[in-house]
Amino acid sequence: MTKLNYWNQTWSLDEAQCPCDLHFVQYLEEKKVTNAAIFHFGTGNHHIVGLKGAEDGVNNAVLGITASPQEYDDYVELLIKNPRLGHTYKAYFGDIYQLDARLLPQFDYAALFHVGEFRTPENDVYGALTDLEMTLLIADKVKPGGEILFYTGSFAYDKAEAVANELIKVRPFNPAPDYKTLKVYRKRAG
């Protein structure tokens, strides 16, 4: 029977093992990014990117995706306990390889830290996007001057790097200065 290639695990914040989300929120803080629209692949059960975006004075709108039912349950709990969070942080359960461009807004930042980590032939069974197709779909939703970020510490960074190399060939993106473990690509204006 065909079933969704979901993630039947849950991930707590672990700076030593996977600092990508922390580095991302530090990056946004250092750049004093406010009022931005952010796409985030892989919420974790900590939901730190959405929570930070909702802090007073920040007002970053975050659309997060998780393929973990447990992490999604944690989002539901968070939102019930803290309804103000819902103004800026929307998380949803699904397979990122089923993104539909018609349903996405324009983003200032897209954090694609887990490219290559979870895409398997199980996704092929239901005709899901590839890593490159998903990245290009998101790239087309990034505003001029906006950025896509990859995580160099990923166990699949070789795959992410191959995707990024293709991205800069076929879409108007340039490498931008790296930040800690994050590799940044900025969309050219015009």
Ligand X SMILES: C[S@@+](CC[C@H](N)C(=O)[O-])C[C@H]1O[C@@H](n2cnc3c(N)ncnc32)[C@H](O)[C@@H]1O
In the complex, the residues that contact ligand X under the rule CB under 6 A are 7, 11, 13, 18, 20-21, 41-44, 65-68, 71, 95-97, 113-114, 118
Closest approach of ligand X to the CB of residue 144, in Å: 26
Closest approach of ligand X to the CB of residue 143, in Å: 22
3-class SS of residue 25: helix
| Of the candidates 108, 5, 26, 124, the residue with the CA atom closest to the CA atom of residue 63 | 108
Closest approach of ligand X to the CB of residue 188, in Å: 27
Comparing CB distances to ligand X, the nearer of 118 and 173 is 118
Comparing CB distances to ligand X, the nearer of 180 and 190 is 180
Measure the CA–CA gap between 21 and 10, rounded to whole angstroms: 15
Measure the CA–CA gap between 12 and 21, rounded to whole angstroms: 11
Comparing CB distances to ligand X, the nearer of 27 and 113 is 113
**Complete DSSP assignment for 103-149:** G---EEEEE-TTTTTS--HHHHTTTPPPHHHHHHHHHTTEEEEEEEE
Closest approach of ligand X to the CB of residue 190, in Å: 32
Comparing CB distances to ligand X, the nearer of 155 and 174 is 155
* List of residues 6+ apart from 145 with CB closer than 8 A: 108, 186, 187, 189
Place of tokens 């730190």: 48
| Of the candidates 88, 158, 97, the residue with the CA atom closest to the CA atom of residue 132 | 97
Comparing CB distances to ligand X, the nearer of 11 and 107 is 11
Tokens describing residue 20? 């990508």
Closest approach of ligand X to the CB of residue 65, in Å: 5
